[in-house]
């Protein structure tokens, strides 16, 4: 299953107050409001042995791809309805392809199951030599504009754990708060002209941050 092409823009705030950010969004020209209940987002990021996905991002390659397994809820050691996502990006435009991993639902995340999952992923999308690299966990707030055309997410309490070669038994915490705004491409000029209070787009990748904070580089 795929979704439509959309624009994605991110802002990163260090040690910022999420209440202030929420207030700015609610009082912006788009009158954002809560769309879904806040929840935990969990990811396992995959890459090949030479970290192609990471280096493509660092080099600013316009056409690149990120592969991850995602599930929701406060179950970081247990899969809950996991889905494989291929996030494909061309400049600021992006879309996702989804693949069911239903047979891994309610399986404990350990070395054995992770190895079995990795084997299935390489077969499922016909990649070779993909390996799990890191796990991320964070809380996400979902917002939508009053005209229902523009979505925003606010991620905080971001944590990383290394899984390459072995699964670390502890998380590293970072203080970043990540705001991402997603919208159809035809609204780009409209959004730029009407969104005020946020001045700078920052490059951000939770996968890259997990590598840097886990001393992969």
pLDDT in tens, the chain (217 residues): 455 578 888 888 877 678 888 888 998 889 999 999 999 999 999 998 888 888 777 777 778 889 999 999 998 889 999 999 998 887 777 888 999 999 999 999 998 999 999 999 999 887 768 999 999 999 999 999 999 999 999 999 999 988 876 777 778 888 889 999 999 888 988 888 887 666 444 555 666 666 655 555 4
pTM: 0.85
Q: Please give the Cα distance from 154 to 142 (Å, whole number).
A: 7
Q: Is 90 helix (H, G, I), strand (E, B) or coil?
A: strand
- Among left, alpha and beta (phi > 0; psi -120 to 50; other), residue 50 is alpha
> In 142-154, which positions are buried (b, 16+ CB within 10 angstroms) versus exposed (e)?
ebbbeeeebbbbb
Backbone angles phi, psi at 15, to 5 degrees: 50, 40
Q: Please give the Cα distance from 109 to 129 (Å, whole number).
A: 20
Ranges of H-type helices in 125-162: none
Name the CATH superfamily for 6-213.
Hypothetical Protein Pfu-838710-001 (2.40.320.10)
Angle at Cα 67 formed by Cα 65 and Cα 73, nearest 5°? 135
């Amino acid at each position: 299953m795929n979704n439509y092409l959309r624009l994605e823009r991110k802002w990163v705030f260090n040690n910022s107050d999420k209440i202030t950010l929420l207030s700015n969004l609610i009082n912006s020209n788009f009158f954002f409001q809560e769309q879904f209940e806040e929840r935990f987002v969990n990811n396992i990021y995959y890459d090949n042995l030479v970290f192609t996905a990471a280096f493509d991002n660092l080099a600013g390659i316009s056409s690149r791809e990120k592969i991850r397994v995602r599930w929701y809820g406060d179950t970081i050691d247990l899969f809950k309805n996991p889905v494989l996502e291929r996030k494909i990006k061309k400049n600021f435009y992006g879309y996702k392809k989804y693949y069911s991993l239903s047979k891994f639902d309610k399986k404990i995340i350990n070395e054995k199951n992770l190895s079995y999952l990795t084997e299935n992923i390489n077969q499922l999308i016909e990649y070779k030599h993909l390996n799990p690299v890191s796990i991320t966990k964070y809380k996400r707030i979902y917002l939508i504009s009053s005209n229902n055309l523009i979505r925003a997410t606010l991620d905080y309490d971001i944590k990383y754990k290394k899984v390459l070669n072995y699964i670390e038994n502890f998380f590293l915490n970072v203080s970043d708060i990540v705001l991402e705004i997603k919208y159809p491409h035809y609204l780009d000029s409209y959004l730029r002209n009407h969104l005020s209070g946020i001045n700078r787009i920052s490059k951000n990748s939770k996968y890259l941050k997990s590598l840097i904070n886990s001393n992969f580089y």
